[in-house]
Structure 1
């Protein structure tokens, strides 16, 4: 049987190819076979995977245009990746292809690589590792090329990529040195030049050399053939010029970005427009031309994805021109675009909050600040700034509400009977109109519900083959009429409630922008007949002199606190001045007059109103010559020295007594200085210190009562909040009075206690000294003594350091005969846990009766 000639030739050709393409042979066939196979198989697929990975990085990366943009768009992730894992499967695949090309197609004979594609494989390997954020392995791959393939045609690219890896590893000085050497020694062109200078610019930025970075970016922007890169480099140039204060140069750079138009990503062009607008000089520039420009940007359909930024900038324009209502409109438009720029959203909310704060709409401002914080990174510096402002606003809201409500009540008190009747008749008419509107809405809701039920019945009777009805259309909350009715009914029944746990509780009622809690309670608790009777409301106006005086005092104290808050926390000196002036014109209590006048004096100085300051000073010196404020005004140098009679120094002295367990004296002095400094912010500190001393001297129940007083009376101070925390968290933990069984397994620390009546105080110090000398003679134990006040009549001398119940109970057996003669006073032993209960609840007699059984 004859074998076909073609088959024989095919077999021969296959044998020649297999034997001739060995990686151990350096011949034409072997070199070209492995080069072509590596380039058009492994490396081709590897670069495809690399490009896919880079595209996914670009799509997921969001530039922060509020900061200087990085040269390269790549988000560094802090997540820890275990060996063998990858942050992006595309880069993992590219790395695998590069490794495959090296392993299967490398022709290394006598230490020299014969396959010209292997350096390309190592370059791919380094790039894949770089974009996968494994910079040290990437650096190793690039160095491998430089060491083994110094004549590679990719050598300049490799040097650039190596320095990119060095920069990511924060070796900026090394990168600058080597890149400058590369630019000096080699004549780079086109993209290689753009890559080298742009990455050098990043190294300069990292080392705060802004001028050098601008120069390198100019070279990169001119050299690159990629318009995306050119637009980015020009925009960064403009940002850098702005940081240096060169607005004209910045605008030229932004104009170059705008000239690229559709050749570069539109976000660069829009951002360039906005940055130019930010640089606009409102004193000398053409405001009408600027507004026309902003309007063109707003109306351009291509700019729709960026309306959040455009609306915000239009809002800024109107705000600077004092067109507040238009500014608010555009800030709200920006918010309604559902922008993905969290910082932009935060700035919109913050600006709206500031605008409402300036209008004294503090509750609304507080809500805007809450929204601002929700859009900021938790615990970041901007977040902390807004949180501090929001926390301070709590006090403002609280006292402004008190001032507003009490002013309204006092105004009604001063009305004549005719004025009261006219006022409440108009109020009742407004209620009737509101009731009619709600009734109309309810009837509309009922008709709508009946119509839906009819439609539902008809649909139910249709054939089963028909399409199912849209159940969503029947859902209660999809019907705006029923929802509006439901909201009104809820507010009517419950009032305004914050979305939180236990919202039904009576103490959770909060005030709304137009009403206060007392309004809601009076209206909502009245019967239908009473609600529409003006005389019902007139009867609620206080008439007793004592009640009116109390309301007046509460209002005056609110004015005083607001004056302090605006002065000390917000530096709003005009607002503070108004509050203190209102207070002084409202017949305030004597205790607030001097403090208010002195604060007004300081405010006049801060505002540069020297004549007013002089008048305030003379009033204080003349009318209160013996006060410490008069002393300070007569001797200004004393203000810079330590004032021993200042509230702060007095508090420190009393606190030192507290640390020395002089609790009775602390309580007495705190009560005295609370009256002396009544109205001063430091009063809350004295009250909390008094509560603590009370607890140490009289026990749990007295402490609980005192802490509750501080928490309620000073709810909006730091001390009040601390007391609230103690009340909620600490008191429940120490409320138990049951003693713990004293066994060696449970209680490992014991105390030996000698009890002294306070009539024997002179003997305590001598007894402790004798006891210390005796304890030195006891071996194997490290014993120490202390003195603890138990109650107003009893003090303990305590021995610490015993670990065994039996040893503690028979402590005297550890003493020598001589020492027993020195220490004859009776004692008792107690575990540390039970001693804590005894000190907290002052139930020593109960413990002793139980231990003696």
Structure 2
């Protein structure tokens, strides 16, 4: 009986094993097959995959660096860069690939199980954590559409699809997905916390803070995850603070403090609570005492920069700007690890100097530091960059003033003292370099001894110090309880004996002994060339002194105009105008300065305003400023008049191009008789004169030229050119007198003049002047001596000239080139620019005869570029620009607001292939030149 029973049991077990094997080996739509597939899918694949996901999420939480100056993200996900790619994303790839394999097994081999929806959702989550957000969204979309009737899976898929789209900032699409999810959420009886939190994150992105607060409160109630609840409570406090609901914010910060939050979150909650408590209290003094007490707790050593920042914020709120600046500076000094905090402190210092102290030079320096320290995704980063670029304009002009004042001061010294002073400027001051901080920065986490060691791979050993994940978790747990502590003896002790302190100092000094010898002074470089350049730049003659003074005058005028027009700071503008008038009572900007002071004082000091108005009317009665005072609509009328004059000139020039010389002569006579104050009158007269030369003897031409010079002796564009023409004709008068007509079209049978070419008007050829001119030396200095670097106010010591570093932005660079162009950009492709190019040719022949300058045309869809070259260096191009720019109104026969000018290297010019690139270069030029 016993043997029979044993035999029967064996048969039953064998049959059961066969059934199990059969069920596992092949997919069968039977109750047994479905049961076995559900069993293995759930426990062999789904459970293990979720364990991997939980472990990965825990690692992300422990390594993610939260920025407590902004509202924290609701979820801690993969950290992405500006292109939405996971930073260092390969670390999670192996774990996520394991999940993908397990999910694919369920889909391929467990197709009759109840976990296909979970498998597709797992595939989506694995792609999400690998950074393949669009692939993830597709998996979640498929799961949502296929398993629409399964409310849990449907909502989970929609939730993760929205999160995937939010990661790549497809907020509009994500919002549509969440709208669908909200309607289904009412049918979900549990596990609603994460969808509610996602809705809160979307509201934060959309700046709908009240709705975000409501969703977060519901998510906290529905959640069973303690870490999620702590994080969401902190975010709830931040949002309440933003909404100025300070009691609610205080309550939630206290809840975070009482929870098992990580130490950093605990610290920031405490810091925010203290700040709000001071704000709500009625105390008028000692609001900072509680914050200062935090400095005494050595657990807060790594957060002193944030403490000082909050103290500064408190002083700023009270209007104590000097104290606020003091503590912002302390925050910067103590920010050795938290670069984000350092950047914010720099930004606050810049704003203080800009708005409160009106110290624009210091503000520029602090904005520079903020731009270089803050991440590009910081809210308002572009506005900070723009403000920094505007202040660059002021800084350069203040630098010009300082440079020229320094040069003039040295030039006034006796010869012997002058040379000694220059030698002192270029003698480097030897000073020891500060001790290296490498040990401090690299040793901030003493537990990570085996991480990233060259030649040492990742170990999967169970030994604690070979397991990176275990070390990370242990260090995180340590920080929660103790904060950051130095690796030293008796680290638990806050108060130590003198003997302990000395022992520890000796140990530190021994370990850092190598660093103490660092930073030996380098030998002085040969400064002979720099000293010579500096000496050559000294204004030792009245002419050079006049040029130096002119640079200072122009710089002051530009600064005051910038304050008035760009920064909307009339008080500062008036102060600079007054400095200009006190230093240079007579200057060529007087009419503009008086007019600006008239406008500044118009609504605040009637007596002053009238005084400056009278100075304009009496001293400059024919200026445009006087005419605007007398007739406020003069500016509009003037623009209309100039447009009409340009149009008429272009018509006359077209007649000249068609060789209708008689018509040109008659039209110019009518124009000059009927028009008053025609600013193009010398150019009209020039067209008439060369038309006379095309139809009459040389004697008649010389009479016309001499008449032009006598009528327009002060003209800077045409008169110099005509004088050259007369000189050339007189030098070759015998040849000219043999002709019946003075100026002939070019004839190959005639002996040509050495540099003569007839005018042509084809778009890409040079419309030259009809008259030959005698070669002459360039009257404008080709190279401006390099300006010295002047002392900074903080040190009071001059700094030697150093090479300017190459700056690069996108495809453009400030690298030195062998060829530069001066470019006039006309923002209208429909205009005919023959007359404008003719004017540029006139300028070149009058000022740069013999220099072989050429001007050509480059066209875009909506722009035309007239470029003049070739200049061998930037200084030559700048000298040319300084000469031609004041005369562009007479040269360019188009509306003034349609054109702008700049200098560009050939390498950068060749990269200009579209209007968009042109605009980028103009911004680059403004910022760097």
Distance in 1 between residues matched to 2:344 and 2:315, nearest whole Å? 15
Distance in 2 between residues matched to 1:365 and 1:618, nearest whole Å? 37
| CA pair 118-359 structure 1, distance change in 2 beyond 3 A | closer
Whether contact under 8 Å (2:620, 2:626) holds in the other structure is: yes
Please state how far the C-alpha of 1:291 moved relative to its aligned partner.
0.8
Please state how far the C-alpha of 1:401 moved relative to its aligned partner.
0.5
Corresponding position: 1:585 with 2:582: yes
Please state how far the C-alpha of 1:629 moved relative to its aligned partner.
1.2
Whether contact under 8 Å (1:102, 1:121) holds in the other structure is: yes
Q: Describe the superposition over 1:612-663 as per-residue Cα deviations: whole angstroms up to 9, x where unpaired.
A: 22322233223333322122112234356544689x9999999999999999
Distance in 2 between residues matched to 1:670 and 1:41, nearest whole Å? 99
**Larger CA deviation: 276-285 vs 313-322:** 276-285
Corresponding position: 1:90 with 2:95: yes
Q: Which residue of 1 aligns with 2:43?
A: 40
Q: Which residue of 2 aligns with 1:349?
A: 346
Q: Describe the superposition over 1:441-481 as per-residue Cα deviations: whole angstroms up to 9, x where unpaired.
A: 99xxxxxxxxxxxxxxxxxxxxxxxxxxx999897x8426x
Q: Which residue of 2 aligns with 1:506?
A: 530
User: In structure 2, which of residues 252, 256, 260 is the aligned counterpart of residue 256 of structure 1?
Assistant: 252
Distance in 2 between residues matched to 1:472 and 1:266, nearest whole Å? 29
Please state how far the C-alpha of 1:45 moved relative to its aligned partner.
2.6
Matches within 5 A, 1:233-248: 233-241=232-240, 246-247=243-244
Greater helix share, structure number: 1
Corresponding position: 1:619 with 2:615: yes
Distance in 2 between residues matched to 1:635 and 1:73, nearest whole Å? 65
Distance in 1 between residues matched to 2:233 and 2:655, nearest whole Å? 69
Whether contact under 8 Å (1:241, 1:250) holds in the other structure is: yes
| CA pair 165-602 structure 1, distance change in 2 beyond 3 A | same
Matches within 5 A, 1:658-673: 665=683, 672=715
Q: TM-score, normalised by structure 2?
A: 0.53
Q: Describe the superposition over 1:38-93 as per-residue Cα deviations: whole angstroms up to 9, x where unpaired.
A: 33332333222212332344455444545544432224564679xxx997332222
| CA pair 653-575 structure 1, distance change in 2 beyond 3 A | farther
Q: TM-score, normalised by structure 1?
A: 0.57
Distance in 1 between residues matched to 2:271 and 2:653, nearest whole Å? 61
Whether contact under 8 Å (1:172, 1:206) holds in the other structure is: no
Distance in 1 between residues matched to 2:162 and 2:552, nearest whole Å? 68
Distance in 2 between residues matched to 1:656 and 1:714, nearest whole Å? 46
| CA pair 167-361 structure 1, distance change in 2 beyond 3 A | closer
**Larger CA deviation: 565-574 vs 595-604:** 565-574
Q: Describe the superposition over 1:754-779 as per-residue Cα deviations: whole angstroms up to 9, x where unpaired.
A: xxxxxxx9xxxxxxxxxxxxxxxxxx
Q: Which residue of 1 aligns with 2:382?
A: 381
What are the ranges of 5 or more consecutive residues in structure 1 without an aligned counterpart?
109-114, 443-469, 496-503, 510-516, 523-539, 677-691, 735-760, 762-786, 797-853
Matches within 5 A, 1:557-706: 557-605=554-602, 608-639=604-635, 642-643=638-639, 665=683, 672=715
Whether contact under 8 Å (2:118, 2:153) holds in the other structure is: yes
Corresponding position: 1:731 with 2:829: no
Whether contact under 8 Å (1:119, 1:149) holds in the other structure is: no
Whether contact under 8 Å (2:147, 2:153) holds in the other structure is: no
Q: RCO greater where, 1 or 2, for CA within 8 Å and sep 6 or more?
A: 2
| CA pair 589-615 structure 1, distance change in 2 beyond 3 A | closer
User: In structure 2, which of residues 21, 36, 53 is the aligned counterpart of residue 50 of structure 1?
Assistant: 53
Whether contact under 8 Å (2:403, 2:787) holds in the other structure is: no
Whether contact under 8 Å (1:597, 1:616) holds in the other structure is: yes
Distance in 1 between residues matched to 2:713 and 2:65, nearest whole Å? 58
- Does the residue aligned with 1:589 lie in a helix, a strand or coil? coil
Q: Which residue of 1 aligns with 2:402?
A: 401
Corresponding position: 1:372 with 2:395: no
Please state how far the C-alpha of 1:256 moved relative to its aligned partner.
0.6
Please state how far the C-alpha of 1:17 moved relative to its aligned partner.
0.9
Matches within 5 A, 1:687-836: 709=782, 729=817, 731=819
User: In structure 1, which of residues 290, 301, 304 is the aligned counterpart of residue 287 of structure 2?
Assistant: 290
Please state how far the C-alpha of 1:217 moved relative to its aligned partner.
1.8
Please state how far the C-alpha of 1:359 moved relative to its aligned partner.
6.6
Distance in 1 between residues matched to 2:297 and 2:531, nearest whole Å? 52
Distance in 2 between residues matched to 1:334 and 1:300, nearest whole Å? 17
Distance in 1 between residues matched to 2:260 and 2:634, nearest whole Å? 70
Whether contact under 8 Å (2:717, 2:842) holds in the other structure is: no
Whether contact under 8 Å (1:350, 1:369) holds in the other structure is: yes
Whether contact under 8 Å (1:61, 1:73) holds in the other structure is: yes
Q: Which residue of 2 aligns with 1:199?
A: 198
Distance in 2 between residues matched to 1:569 and 1:507, nearest whole Å? 38
Distance in 2 between residues matched to 1:135 and 1:618, nearest whole Å? 70
Distance in 2 between residues matched to 1:283 and 1:657, nearest whole Å? 77
Please state how far the C-alpha of 1:195 moved relative to its aligned partner.
1.9
| CA pair 20-65 structure 1, distance change in 2 beyond 3 A | closer
| CA pair 93-571 structure 1, distance change in 2 beyond 3 A | same
User: In structure 2, which of residues 314, 319, 322 is the aligned counterpart of residue 317 of structure 1?
Assistant: 314
| CA pair 69-671 structure 1, distance change in 2 beyond 3 A | farther
| CA pair 473-622 structure 1, distance change in 2 beyond 3 A | same
Distance in 2 between residues matched to 1:603 and 1:11, nearest whole Å? 108
Q: Which residue of 2 aligns with 1:513?
A: none
Corresponding position: 1:219 with 2:218: yes
- Does the residue aligned with 2:287 lie in a helix, a strand or coil? helix
Matches within 5 A, 1:52-131: 52-59=55-62, 61-74=64-77, 75=79, 78=83, 88-106=93-111, 108=112, 115-131=113-129
| CA pair 207-232 structure 1, distance change in 2 beyond 3 A | same
Distance in 2 between residues matched to 1:315 and 1:675, nearest whole Å? 63
User: In structure 2, which of residues 167, 181, 184 is the aligned counterpart of residue 182 of structure 1?
Assistant: 184
Q: Which residue of 2 aligns with 1:464?
A: none
| CA pair 614-139 structure 1, distance change in 2 beyond 3 A | same
Distance in 2 between residues matched to 1:553 and 1:790, nearest whole Å? 24
Corresponding position: 1:479 with 2:517: yes
Whether contact under 8 Å (1:71, 1:198) holds in the other structure is: yes
Please state how far the C-alpha of 1:381 moved relative to its aligned partner.
1.2
Distance in 1 between residues matched to 2:36 and 2:774, nearest whole Å? 93
Q: Describe the superposition over 1:672-712 as per-residue Cα deviations: whole angstroms up to 9, x where unpaired.
A: 36999xxxxxxxxxxxxxxx999976999999968975988
Matches within 5 A, 1:450-469: none
Distance in 1 between residues matched to 2:75 and 2:713, nearest whole Å? 64
- Does the residue aligned with 2:252 lie in a helix, a strand or coil? helix
Please state how far the C-alpha of 1:571 moved relative to its aligned partner.
3.5
- Does the residue aligned with 1:42 lie in a helix, a strand or coil? helix
Counting matched residue pairs gives 619
Whether contact under 8 Å (2:144, 2:155) holds in the other structure is: no
| CA pair 387-703 structure 1, distance change in 2 beyond 3 A | farther
- Does the residue aligned with 1:185 lie in a helix, a strand or coil? coil
| CA pair 148-472 structure 1, distance change in 2 beyond 3 A | closer
Distance in 1 between residues matched to 2:302 and 2:554, nearest whole Å? 52
Whether contact under 8 Å (1:204, 1:210) holds in the other structure is: yes
Q: Which residue of 1 aligns with 2:744?
A: none
Whether contact under 8 Å (1:311, 1:331) holds in the other structure is: yes
Distance in 2 between residues matched to 1:551 and 1:146, nearest whole Å? 77
- Does the residue aligned with 2:715 lie in a helix, a strand or coil? helix
Distance in 2 between residues matched to 1:656 and 1:391, nearest whole Å? 43
Please state how far the C-alpha of 1:97 moved relative to its aligned partner.
1.6
Distance in 2 between residues matched to 1:163 and 1:205, nearest whole Å? 14
Whether contact under 8 Å (2:237, 2:250) holds in the other structure is: yes
Distance in 1 between residues matched to 2:620 and 2:68, nearest whole Å? 58
